[in-house]
Amino acid sequence: MTTAATPDDAPLSVRLRGTWRLLSRIDVTADGREYPDPSLGSDPIALLIYDRSGHFAAQFMKRDRGDVRSDAPATVANNTQARDGYDAYFGTYTVDDSTGVVTQRLEGSLSRGNVGMVLSRAMSVHGTRLAIQLVTGAWDGTPVTRTLTWERVSS
């Protein structure tokens, strides 16, 4: 059940807090072509949690883990690495309310190569929706812009 949203005039650092369920995860190349990620699929199940103390956790799972492609290369910029159709990580975060950029510092991760990473994401919250956008590489290194749309499940 979806709960009431924080007012849109509150700073992002306040509106971001809560639990979010993934609605869509779309990768697009520079020429506008969708380029789905085979390691998590085009429709993964995911939860994202930001708490008041500056901690976060993210979990992503491919819906059909029986059809898992080999893991993404560890060298993809500005992104974590899934394992066997699953990705999970946690750590601390800070919000730059003036730019809408959220910086996450990974303290733990399913993939040990992700531990210690610092990831920055453009984020916006409107009502009960969270939008995250980042430039990264697809599983084969192709540059993509990833847009994730989330729905608030708690405040």
Please write the tens of the pLDDT for every residue from 15-58. Answer: 999 999 999 999 999 999 999 888 888 889 999 999 999 999 99
Cβ(24)–Cβ(126) below 8 Å: no
Residue/partner pairs of 37-45 with CB below 8 Å, 24 or more apart: 37/72, 37/138, 37/139, 38/69, 38/139, 39/68, 39/69, 39/70, 39/71, 39/72, 39/82, 39/85, 39/87, 39/139, 40/82, 40/85, 40/87, 41/85
pLDDT band of 140, cuts 50, 70, 90 = confident
Q: Could you tell me the domains of the chain?
A: 12-154 (2.40.128.280)
4 has pLDDT over 80: no
